[in-house]
Structure 1
């Protein structure tokens, strides 16, 4: 809010020659009164400004009346994202049919989800094609959606991957063509490329934003040190810094999101979009009595997941999940809902990406919204006690 005021010369000028002596006698008082009025208006202006700031701050999280979906700022940017988003990893173009993909997106959108995440590498580009086709078919307003994609693995050729300027620009153009979109809201850089200088990455991301191909950029799987370096380069050369980091976060993966990233959130405004809240399905409880034939872990490409589940550490995790199920029962929710709400209790987490493969699973996961108010400090403490893996940090960043 801007407040302007015109200062007139009433009572501030010296009286003209020949004016009544009484006016001469009172002119200092008149000037004092004018100055007092000026100070009063200035104080009001300042208070209005601070009121506006507080009002804006109170909008950090808001709730949609119709769906109950909660919205948060993406990091400390002004972009409002649903606290639950829909990811397309594995499922779109992979595990599920195009018809089921459309059902999932429809359920999500009608439940208040506005964040849809994909990547150029998902199903060799098919995920982006399916996502774009659904958006076009449903005739959803583009302005009501937050579409994000990730760059790094674009193709087999040496020039079709990485975070060099060439691939960032060409890769994003390819993603936009596949999705039939003019721009994405956020483009994420996967940090597996240590061959490209940080300045080149930040300059290329600034370029695609300035060209209108993206609104914001973020990082994915970057270390806190790398994110800080990108921010420093952006400030040094007057470029655009990243607004958020995509990071894995769940009951059994806590260190980065709970100790490293909160510091970046408070210092430079980088928030978190977290993924895998159910640890690739481990937290659903379906592996409690072994590995079902229809599960992801039974598939050949997921041999690593199978080995993780049957390992000694995996068996310990299943035992802890049995105990956590009692807390979920006490709160009147399912274990997956508890796990997702637990992720959202962290103030730096802007959104949690869901990777559902069926409408019923997605509907259940979206129900985690109702569990958030139940995630009290006492419940969080109970969860910490069962998990026994709370990382040490300088301060507690939980609600």
Structure 2
């Protein structure tokens, strides 16, 4: 499996990361153990979790799996920010909450240091300086090695980067956003902000909630082993909107053409597209079963050629209004200028 730098740090991770949101809920402990074994055997060295995944159970499962193992190159990432209790200080990016959240994650994982600690989402109530000072202190105290963000906007990232510079804090190294062939709007401002700061992307939902794996059929309600099929009330509005969008089916058709021509799965093609995009450090795999994971890991040996990338880029181009990104807008003019250099 290909190795890449963890954003602007010196740490090295594999191009595919094992996401563990399913651990303890959709995947029982035995299945979770087998998935981690399978992932490491395939050469992977990067696990991503969060305190809110199954109310801490995901971290606990990882902690039990780690016991007795000597995996010195394994990089473990977790997150804090969302509610872990009912009190007013049981959530957010304040020093008060993050102190408790980080210590609890360390206990559940059974480690002395977390390699990458990520702020799970923006907190408009807590001064960003307070969060950054906490993270800098956590690095100095040896509780974390690096920190990053998740679900931040472009201006959030840029503000954090420059506040860290101004105050001589350790800088952020990664951002974890949703990014896939159906969700590309972060290319407008979030990705440029990250590239400007040398921050690496860790895309979540690279298969678009299963849409890019070929599970869904036009105008057919999903059934069986899909999240929506098992719980039709979950995400129904989003399903109906995506099903009615012609762009969705153009992307799926292009994926199917490439997959059939190569004799591989659509999921592998979609994952490879994401892994080959600029600024991407590691793509997060969110499998529920060992079989899904094994198929996803097939993308690690896949490189799409220029024609395949262009075909997928074209059919998945995000829609833009006239201004500021569309026809005659600032974004289009900047792209033309950059292309003419």
Do the structures match in fold with TM over 0.5? yes
Partner of 1:160: 90
**Gapped regions of structure 2 (runs ≥ 5):** 326-330
1:109 aligns with 2:47: no
Secondary structure of the residue aligned to 2:188 is: helix
Partner of 1:44: none
Alpha-carbon contact 1:286-1:292 (below 8 Å) kept: no
1:133 aligns with 2:64: yes
- The answer to which of 173-182 and 141-150 deviates more is 141-150
Alpha-carbon contact 1:384-1:390 (below 8 Å) kept: no
Offset of residue 266 of structure 1 = 3.6
CA distance in 2, matches of 1:143, 1:370: 24
Offset of residue 74 of structure 1 = 1.2
Alpha-carbon contact 2:251-2:312 (below 8 Å) kept: no
Partner of 1:99: 30
Offset of residue 128 of structure 1 = 0.5
CA distance in 2, matches of 1:251, 1:309: 16
| TM-score (normalised: structure 1) | 0.76
**How do residues 242-321 of structure 1 correspond to structure 2 at under 5 angstroms?**
242-256=172-186, 258-288=187-217, 289-300=220-231, 303-311=233-241, 313-314=243-244, 316=246, 317-318=248-249, 320-321=251-252
**Gapped regions of structure 1 (runs ≥ 5):** 1-68
Partner of 2:274: 343
Say how many residue pairs are matched.
322
1:85 aligns with 2:17: yes
Higher helix share: 1
CA distance in 2, matches of 1:387, 1:167: 40
Alpha-carbon contact 1:285-1:318 (below 8 Å) kept: no
| TM-score (normalised: structure 2) | 0.89
Offset of residue 304 of structure 1 = 4.2
Alpha-carbon contact 2:154-2:191 (below 8 Å) kept: no
CA separation of 1:233 and 1:334: change in aligned 2, threshold 3 A: same
1:118-174 alpha-carbon deviations (Å, 9 max, x no partner):
0010101111001111111xx332522100001012222111111001111110000
CA separation of 1:96 and 1:144: change in aligned 2, threshold 3 A: same
Alpha-carbon contact 1:116-1:147 (below 8 Å) kept: yes
1:381 aligns with 2:313: no
Partner of 1:53: none
Higher relative contact order (CA 8 A, sep 6+): 2
